[in-house]
Amino acid sequence: MSETRTTTLLVIGGGPGGYVAAIRAGQLGVSTIVVEGQQPGGTCLNIGCIPSKALIHAAQEYERAREYAGASPLGISVQAPAIDIGKTVAWKDGIVARLTGGVEALLKKNGVQLVRGWARVLDGKTVEVDTGQGSQRIQCEHLLLAAGSEPMPLPSMPFAGRVISSTEALSPASIPGRLVVVGGGYIGLELGTVYRKLGAEVTVVEAQERILPTYDAELTKPVAAALARMGVQLCLGRKVLGMNAAGDAVRVQDASGAETALPADQVLLAIGRRPRTQGWGLENLQLDRAGNALRIDDQCRTSMRNVWAIGDIAGEPMLAHRAMAQGEMVAELVAGQRRRFAPAAIPAVCFTDPEIVTAGLAPQQAQAAGLDCVTAAFPFAANGRAMTLESTDGFVRVVARRDNHLVVGWQAVGRGVSELAAAFSQSLEMGARLEDVGGTIHAHPTLGEAVQEAALRALGHALHI
């Protein structure tokens, strides 16, 4: 074993939370080491957020080309389009490679040491790293756990053979004729939509009675309608029993107990993710848990002094931007600054077609919190920019307190609404009121005008509806 190395901050995991924490610590002059077993960027950059959005874009472009091969009201016509999925995957991988290389360069620029290998925690100050060419021991003053999450398995349907996770789904060698997606949440629907647009017959099986059960029903209706137009079959309120004896169909059971088999050339198991807490010595710390996740306070401290946890390993919401914000805060705390994690809202985006974005409280959540609120929505059917984009399904909705008009929540569904997330979060963080949003001049013609119009409608005087 090589000589023991020492550092002030040791980060386990080079994902969004871990690498941001390390970069910020480096900026503040804190001696920092990051241990990462694969490429920097974690799940999000390598096998999650970025590659999935790349494939979503490619699938959308291919679908448009196919539409133009028929009758287009835009007057565009093309010959029968084709797609080389190998080139598509290579293009996606090129984007990932550039971004992971950029992360590595930023770590180096800020004086952060990157150790490639798999960490095993020995105690709250000591980690042993298997580099593949031997092992080395690292001792630290502060230990930051940013190990992320992993796809959740189904006991009746392990990952093997035709059953794949989102990781494999993001690098297809070919498009299956029939894909069964188990799980109607955002991961399953995003990737299921991609495969449908690329030509697969897609069936989505969901145990709940509707898709995207964590979102309110009004937001999911346009998504369900779009899936129906695409030809995606939805099997709702169904329990998955496993594969049939031949291994070429998924057995599902409805509420009455009746069983059917869904033929499948491939099965995408997307029932959720769980914190990655097994297999790397975390049990040696005996940290307090919150279910499967580590319990943290509003400074991301665990139950052990100078041991911190951020991102997916610390539970919901499992979002890269949450991990990044937590990582930045922990670095500043280690450097001696005073911080706590208390955002007004953490936005969430579902990149289905149409997209969904939420920030703050939905109407039902506001009511459950005991708030007397006014709610108003402005439809994209009355928005000029949406018309020019041939996408008028959906709306922007605002939730505000009735007494002082303080905005407490935003929701939107429609093509391209993910780009409204920044405006939603900023208004909540700055304590905007309906009059602030309604009185702000929004550029015309943009989808963002629907944000202003929703606020005006809540005040009783929307202009274009």
8 Å CB contact between 308 and 203: no
**Same domain for 282 and 256?**
no
How many domains does the chain fold into?
3
| Residue pLDDT, tens place only, 118-128 | 999 999 999 99
8 Å CB contact between 226 and 398: no
Could you tell me where the DSSP H helices lie in 48-128? Answer: 49-68, 85-109
Q: Is the pLDDT of residue 131 over 60?
A: yes
- Is residue 405 flagged as an active site residue? no
Choosing from 142, 442, 444, 461, the catalytic residue is: 444
- Whether 188 has a binding-site annotation, put simply, is yes
Q: What is the mean pLDDT of the chain?
A: 96
Give dist(CA 308, CA 322) in Å, integer: 15
201 falls within a domain: yes
Residue 328: both structure tokens together: 């930045």
245 falls within a domain: yes
Give dist(CA 117, CA 138) in Å, integer: 12
**Same domain for 33 and 140?**
yes
pLDDT for the residue numbered 2: 63
8 Å CB contact between 308 and 143: yes
**Same domain for 47 and 109?**
yes
**Same domain for 419 and 281?**
no
- Whether 313 has a binding-site annotation, put simply, is no
Choose the final residue of a domain: 229, 244, 271.
271
314 falls within a domain: yes
**Same domain for 22 and 126?**
yes
We report the CATH number of the domain holding residue 93 as 3.50.50.60
**Same domain for 26 and 147?**
yes
| Residue pLDDT, tens place only, 387-413 | 999 999 999 999 999 999 999 999 999
Residue 277: both structure tokens together: 């807490």
The pairing of strands 307-309 and 348-350 is unpaired
**Same domain for 375 and 418?**
yes
8 Å CB contact between 339 and 299: yes
SS3 content of the chain, % helix, strand, coil (to 5): 35, 25, 40
Q: Quick check: bond before 213 cis, omega within 30? A: no
Among residues 155, 158, 206, which one has the least CA distance to residue 180? Answer: 206
81 falls within a domain: no
- Whether 53 has a binding-site annotation, put simply, is yes
**Same domain for 264 and 280?**
no
Owning domain of residue 120: 4-55+86-151+274-335
25 falls within a domain: yes
- Whether 175 has a binding-site annotation, put simply, is no
| Residue pLDDT, tens place only, 226-269 | 999 999 999 999 999 999 999 999 999 999 999 999 999 999 99
16 falls within a domain: yes
For 221, the 3-state DSSP assignment is helix
235 falls within a domain: yes
| Residue pLDDT, tens place only, 303-339 | 999 999 999 999 999 999 999 999 999 999 999 999 9
**What is the CB neighbour count within 10 angstroms for residue 216?**
17
**Same domain for 248 and 304?**
no
Q: Quick check: bond before 176 cis, omega within 30? A: no
**pLDDT confidence band for 79 (50 / 70 / 90):** confident
Give dist(CA 347, CA 20) in Å, integer: 19
Give dist(CA 69, CA 132) in Å, integer: 52
Give dist(CA 131, CA 41) in Å, integer: 18
- For residue 28, what is the DSSP state? T
Choose the final residue of a domain: 246, 271, 296.
271
